[in-house]
Structure 1
Amino acid sequence: MADRALIETPATRRGLAGLPVVVWIALIYVGARLITTGFLVLAAQLAGQGTRFGPNATIGDFFLGWDAQWYWYVAVNGYPSVLPVTDAGLVKENQWAFMPVYAYLSQGLGVLLGSWGAAAVAISLVAGFLACWVLFRMLRDRIGDGAALWAVAFFASAPLAAMFQVGYAESLFLLWLLLALWALMRRRYGWLYLLIPLMGFTRPGVLAFALLLGLIGVWRWMHRRTEPLPIREIVHIVALGALAVVVGFAWQVIAGVATGDSGAYLATELAWRRNWLPASDGGFLPFDGFVQGAAFWFGTWGLGPVTGYVVLALAVVAIAVLLLFEPHVKRLGVELRLWSASYLVYLLAVFFPQSSLFRLLLPLSPLWGAAAVPRSTPWRIAVLAACLLGQWWWIYNMYALGNTYWQIP
């Protein structure tokens, strides 16, 4: 009780220990980035022959490695009007898998900073800090200032926190997403008309937000006697849901028009799946990726596809129970719980599980608030230590060793 009183006084809403909250967030974020930089430097020293970056790897190679090269290529060359194909006539990996906002924003800022790479890293760093600030503002009214700061520490130090300082669109997408969730929580619907297109053209995932709006609409309707649902809010929720659906499919339409092939985008995305399933040349079926993935991975591990299906089903049930009944998760509020459910359903529907799955779980970052709720200091320190250990494991595998099909960020 004393801890609760301490973190919820007006003084702490101005700041903790005499410092403004934004200063605390900056200190946490800068400290976390220094640790991540140290991990990347060490990984560069450990990279050897046979790895993607080789024995002379530098931290700069890591900043602009893997998908960062695709975003740079988009900025320099744009998108192909003719899809590249293999000797077998199948669509090859190409730029249409990467949305334009991050690539071209980095290109524009690069004019001032001197290079695309410097601008890409700068955008990731700044977006990551702003995302930390928004996360704190989202959570403080639900779990208190102290716990919200711990959630920021977990978020800034998480196993995938290197995304805050490499040339990937994740950091910028997280900023748009957290702003959108915050606006939804505060019923500031007007901001969503801007944020939904920004999300949709930064990286895939806005269709999950469309599902969230549908679920929020149902939930608000069911609770309209205890929480009034004015007509204007109904109009906003329906209009925004429709906008999210349109934006979610817009890139497929744009790719189809530009290439003359209506299936250009899906064929491009499926080209990456052939890295794991070379014989896969069929079309896209919702939820088929995870079903195939369960069979592939558990078969690779010698456990059999049936075991994979059982584990997948049990995992879905366990996550549903967690989101519905776990008391620390319930403290976060219905919006964040429904977002988590919506995004997980989206991943199940469209993704083939592989090493990039860790990165694709970043939009679930608001759930760090649940990990921060328990007020035991040993617990919070243990979670933070686990984050840092997980971060080193991920950086070591994806950058120092990364070159095999299961070591791709």
Structure 2
Amino acid sequence: MADLALTAARRWAGIPLAARIAVVYLIARVITTGFLLAAASLSTSLSRFGAGAGLVDFVVGWDAQWYWLIAEQGYPTELPLGPSGEVRENPWAFMPVFAYAAKALGVVFGSWGMGALLLSVVAGYLACLALHRLLRDRIGGSAAMWAVVFFATGPLAALFQVGYAETLFLLLLFLALDAVARRRYARLYLLIPVMAFTRPGILAFALFLGLHGIARWRGRRTEPLRRSEVVHILALGALATVAGFSWQVIAGIATGEAGAYLATELAWRRPWIGGGAGGFVPFEGWIQASGFWFTQWGMPSAWGPVALVLLVALAALALLALPAVKALGADLRLWTASYLVYLLAVFFPQSSTFRLLLPVSPLWGAAAVPRSRTWRLVVLAGCLALQWVWIHAMYTLGNTYWQVP
């Protein structure tokens, strides 16, 4: 038995890396498809998708409807208003790259939904390749492969197979992080603009570049910092910042309303906050939400900010002190910190919080660092169990305010 296992392991290791990752990815997609089929069979008339739900309904459901609307009708030049004159939810909250790329594929393969599905699936596979490349020099090939397994089968793995922009953004992000890690800064001049118009988050990358530049400056005695690299880091930080605010400018010009984008984003907070939000204030969303959720859970709202402070402290401690996280290297920890600060600054936490945490997926490498087979299998089982819980809540049920992916 031991000889058979050793032979199988050697044959597996002899298969080209891209093929091994393809096998892992295809198995993960089959499992997710099974979960989605089960979710469809359990869907009832109380669900958003109805009693006759199918895989196609899930592919083009939820936010995919907004991307489809953008592909078919473009962006509105007049903001839709509610009865009290408040800006309502509209396409300006969504970036154009995924919508139009899916439309281009749909011309070839018959429908926008098929184009969106193919784009998500293929981008997801390429993101797995990019994640392995990003991690292997830090934690080794075996641990990097396990990180890919966790990533491909994770709690939100359904997003690999629906019309969301997440997998495309993750592919671009992993390539950008790898370019920084390998000091191939010139690649970022293409990646940054595409990332900026795929989904929100490029301002977090701008912060990351600033922190990366400071770290390079402080460590210049051990790793020389050339003048050309300084120029690249400064220019790319400026590019990411400009790109990060450009969508607000475009929305303002197109609609004639300077605050069109922020008003649109705040429209999604209105159902959660009585009276809505008067305007955007950095970091206010988490403070408001902490009080809201603790009240919903039957606890004093004053506990919310306290819990928020503890959550931030625990995240900082994990990034600074946990050996498995430290093994990922300074750049990936700086990226994680930058993105979490960005979320704290701009996001109102609700049912989409877990989806918005996907850009910190390099942390799967920390889960893969312990070499215990038992540990890795337990993590994998947890990924699959939570994947089903998420799919069941968002697609089988999907009928309350907290069941929106």
Please indicate, yes or no, whether the TM-score normalized by the shorter chain is above 0.5. yes
Offset of 1:401 from its aligned partner? 0.4
- 1:89 aligned partner, one-letter code: G
User: Which string of whole-angstrom CA distances, capped at 9 and with x for unpartnered residues, describes residues 44-76 of structure 1?
Assistant: 011112110111111110111000000000000
Match of 2:62 in 1: 66
Residue aligned with 2:268, SS:
helix
Q: Which residue of 2 aligns with 1:79?
A: 75
Equivalent residue, structure 2, for 1:273: 269
Larger displacement relative to structure 2 (269-278 or 366-375): 269-278
Cross-structure match for 1:128: 124
Asked if structure 2 preserves the Cα contact closer than 8 Å seen for 1:127 and 1:172, the reply is yes
Question: CA–CA distance in 2 between the matches of 1:349 and 1:281?
Answer: 15
For the pair 1:308 / 2:304, whether they are aligned, the reply is: yes
Q: Which runs of 4+ in 1 moved over 6 A?
A: none
> What residue ranges of structure 1 are gaps of 5+ in the alignment?
1-5
Unaligned runs of 5+ in 2: 1-5
Question: Of residues 131, 139, 150 in structure 2, which corresponds to 1:154?
Answer: 150
1:38 aligns with 2:54: no
What is residue 245 of structure 1 aligned with on the other side? 241
**Structure 1 segment 111-190 matched on structure 2, within 5 A:** 111-190=107-186
1:278 & 1:166 partners in 2: Cα distance? 32
AA of the residue aligned to 1:277: I
- Matched to 2:371, the amino acid is R
Shift of 1:300: 1.0
8 A contact 2:196–2:202 mirrored in 1: yes
Query: Partner of 2:260 in structure 1?
Result: 264
2: CA distance, partners of 1:323 / 1:17: 32
Superimposed CA distance per residue, residues 117-147 of structure 1 (whole angstroms, 9 cap, x where no aligned partner): 1000000000000000010111111111111
Superimposed CA distance per residue, residues 66-118 of structure 1 (whole angstroms, 9 cap, x where no aligned partner): 00000000000000001000010000100100100000011111111111110
Root-mean-square deviation (Å): 1.2
Distance 2:219 2:205 in 1: 21
2:212 counterpart (216, 231, 239):
216
Letter in 2 for 1:380: R
Partners of 2:339 and 2:13 lie apart in 1 by: 37
Q: Which amino acid aligns with 2:248?
A: Q
Distance 2:133 2:84 in 1: 52
Question: Is the 2:43–2:52 contact (alpha carbons within 8 Å) kept by the matching residues of 1?
Answer: yes
Question: Residue 254 of structure 1 aligns with which residue?
Answer: 250
TM-score calculated relative to the size of structure 1: 0.96
Identity rate, percent: 64
Structure 2 Cα separation of the partners of residues 16 and 289 of structure 1: 48
The answer to whether the 8 Å contact 1:90/1:281 transfers is no
Instruction: Say if 1:53 and 1:61, in contact at 8 Å, map to a contact too.
Output: yes
Q: State the match for 1:284 in structure 2.
A: 280
Q: Shift in Å at residue 17 of structure 1?
A: 2.6
In the TM superposition, residue 265 of structure 1 has moved relative to its aligned partner by 0.2
What one-letter code is carried by the residue in structure 1 that aligns with 2:344? L
Q: How far off is 1:342 after superposition?
A: 0.2
Contact 2:269/2:277, CA 8 A, preserved across alignment: no
The alignment's TM-score, normalised by the length of structure 2, stands at 0.97
What per-residue deviation string (whole Å, max 9, x for no partner) do you get for residues 295-315 of structure 1?
000011111111111111001
Deviation, 1:278, is 3.5
Secondary structure at 1:305 match in 2:
coil
Counterpart pick for 1:29 among 25, 41, 48: 25
| d(CA) in 1 for partners of 2:80, 2:276 | 18
Q: Distance in 2 between matches of 1:400 and 1:324?
A: 39
- Are 2:201 and 1:205 equivalent residues in the alignment? yes
**Is 358-367 or 303-312 further displaced after alignment?**
303-312
Q: Does structure 1 residue 324 correspond to structure 2 residue 320? A: yes
- Please report how far the alpha carbon of residue 183 of structure 1 lies from its aligned counterpart in structure 2 after TM superposition: 0.5
Question: Contact 2:248–2:259 at 8 Å: present in 1 too?
Answer: yes
Residues 158 and 390 of structure 1 are in contact (CA less than 8 Å); yes or no, is this contact kept in structure 2?
yes
Number of residues of Structure 1 aligned to a counterpart in Structure 2? 398
